[in-house]
Amino acid sequence: MGSPLHVVLPEVFEENIASLRTAFAETGADVDVYFAKKANKAGCFVSAASALDAGIDVASAPELVQALAGGVPGHRIGVSGPEKDDALHSLAVQHSCSVAIDSISELRRLATTAQRARRRVRVLLRCRTAGQPGSRFGMVSAELDAAVDLCVGLSEHVWFQGFSFHLNGYSPQERATAANEMIEHCLEARRRGARSADVVDIGGGLPMRYVEPRLWAEFLKRNEPDHYHGTKAAKGFSFYPYGGQSPAQAARTLMNHPVDGTKSLAAKAADNGIRFIVEPGRALLDQAGFTIYRVQQVEDRREADGYAIVTVAGNSLSLSEPWFNTDYLPDPVLLSAEPAADELFPACVAGSTCLENDMVTWRKIGFPRPVRPGDYLVYLNTAGYHMDFLESRFHDAPLPAKAVIRLGEDGPPRWRLDGI
């Protein structure tokens, strides 16, 4: 099936939905979980979400079509993404999806589309939060009152449900503060006549724990520029918080966060008849996939440079992270017939394109034995954004296949190719 090969595990994804639902329920909050489809293109995750009646968050017409084709009913689909075009609006109206609106002009366009279709469309108004006023997404407070009034005036075609927001970063506390602002917006909207305002969409951004916090802290303490190939480290890093809270811990921190003195976000929402939507992408894909590269060649530069360059079949666009000012930090697992050696074998990992920057791992990894052509490197936990976010048909190469594995109740595990 070629190299790299992505393996996806929908049963793990299903367990993640269940444990996130439990974590939120334990806080007393009413939370509806939507999967942010952008985090992985595999169709198996859409059908798994559909089977568990989870919603899907989409940001484009093709994503919406994929969600419908995977069996998700339109009323379980939320459409986000900035300033959506009329074609996407029209699909959303036709299939009774809910739409997060970014501006008053977008609201007017959507209402016109709904009016022409003689339908009523569910709407959330996206706000800029006080904590991130420079965001390019959403409306400021002054625009919100006008948008709410417009929704009330257009209520024949607009079913106003509440508010959403976009927040960069993974802090549950900051997300709780922003969610509290949205509750206040709902209360103000009710005062303005929009009595149906009872939804706060808190977006995604639940952190995921790739490694134990202790190991992560240790790594950060010891991390040095000369641990990396080339000039990568000179530009400085902005690493994902690989050793942060787990999604379930973050869900509890978020909902238990005190917002009015001692009252928790969950309690304030319950007191005011507010329900939440959460749209995790990465967090629902925790351990739901991995990526296998075949080793093509190994150039041993240990004598000259102190480390080798392992070239794999495929490229780093199938891991995405190394193209940002970061690196995919968890060590790949080396599958080799060779026995473990006494000494570590230091090597970085390169892709097989003609790009100088095509490095799958910039960091010099200490492999437990020398790496040989024909060995395999397994990058774990890659389903959340890594495997297909930036994938490319560069050099006319086919896009990597995704093998779906299900363990099932009894019998051996079964596999099939995704999308077939």
Ligand X SMILES: Cc1ncc(COP(=O)(O)O)c(C=O)c1O
| Closer of 32 and 279 to ligand X (Cβ) | 279
In this chain, which stretch among 24-32, 199-207, 218-226, 360-368 interacts with ligand X, using CB under 6 A? 199-207
* Strand 308-312, strand 77-79: pairing: unpaired
Closest separation in Å from C-beta 57 to ligand X: 5
| Closer of 241 and 368 to ligand X (Cβ) | 241
> Counting Cβ atoms within 10 Å, is residue 36 exposed (0-12), middle (13-18) or buried (19+)?
buried
| Phi and psi torsions of 209, nearest 5° | -100, 105
The reply on whether position 209 binds ligand X by CB under 6 A is no
| Closer of 282 and 402 to ligand X (Cβ) | 282
Residue whose Cβ sits closest to ligand X: 204
8: which residues sit within 8 A by CB, 6+ positions away? 40, 42, 44, 45, 288, 289, 383, 402, 403, 404, 405, 418
| Closer of 240 and 362 to ligand X (Cβ) | 240
The reply on whether position 205 binds ligand X by CB under 6 A is yes
The reply on whether position 14 binds ligand X by CB under 6 A is no
| Closer of 203 and 244 to ligand X (Cβ) | 203
Residues numbered 252 to 281 that lie near ligand X (CB under 6 A) are 279-281
The reply on whether position 39 binds ligand X by CB under 6 A is yes
Closest separation in Å from C-beta 81 to ligand X: 7
Closest separation in Å from C-beta 235 to ligand X: 23
**Residue indicated by tokens 């986000």:** 80
Residue 265: both structure tokens together = 């976000």
In this chain, which stretch among 44-52, 191-199, 204-212, 305-313 interacts with ligand X, using CB under 6 A? 204-212
Closest separation in Å from C-beta 16 to ligand X: 12
What is the rounded distance in angstroms from the CA atom of residue 365 to the CA atom of residue 378?
13
The reply on whether position 382 binds ligand X by CB under 6 A is no
What is the rounded distance in angstroms from the CA atom of residue 327 to the CA atom of residue 362?
7
Nearest CA to 124 out of 149, 159, 152, 90 is that of: 159
The reply on whether position 206 binds ligand X by CB under 6 A is yes
| Cα of 129 vs its chain's centroid, Å | 20
* Strand 333-335, strand 98-101: pairing: unpaired
Residue 390: both structure tokens together = 């930036």
The reply on whether position 204 binds ligand X by CB under 6 A is yes
Of 27, 80, 311, 382, the residue at the interface with ligand X (CB under 6 A) is: 80
**Residue indicated by tokens 């952008």:** 38
Query: Residues 277-316: x/- map of binding to ligand X (CB under 6 A)?
Result: --xxxxx---------------------------------
Query: Residues 158-177: x/- map of binding to ligand X (CB under 6 A)?
Result: --------x-----------
Closest separation in Å from C-beta 201 to ligand X: 8
Give the chain's length: 420
What is the rounded distance in angstroms from the CA atom of residue 325 to the CA atom of residue 69?
36
In the beta sheet, which residues pair with residue 55? 34
| Closer of 77 and 348 to ligand X (Cβ) | 77
Query: Residues 54-73: x/- map of binding to ligand X (CB under 6 A)?
Result: ---x----------------
| Closer of 55 and 70 to ligand X (Cβ) | 55
404, HSE (Cβ side, Cα atoms, 13 Å) = 19
259: which residues sit within 8 A by CB, 6+ positions away? 176, 177, 180, 183, 265, 268
What is the rounded distance in angstroms from the CA atom of residue 359 to the CA atom of residue 310?
10
Compute how many residues bind ligand X; rule: CB under 6 A: 14
- Binding region for ligand X (CB under 6 A): 36, 39, 57, 80, 166, 203-206, 279-283
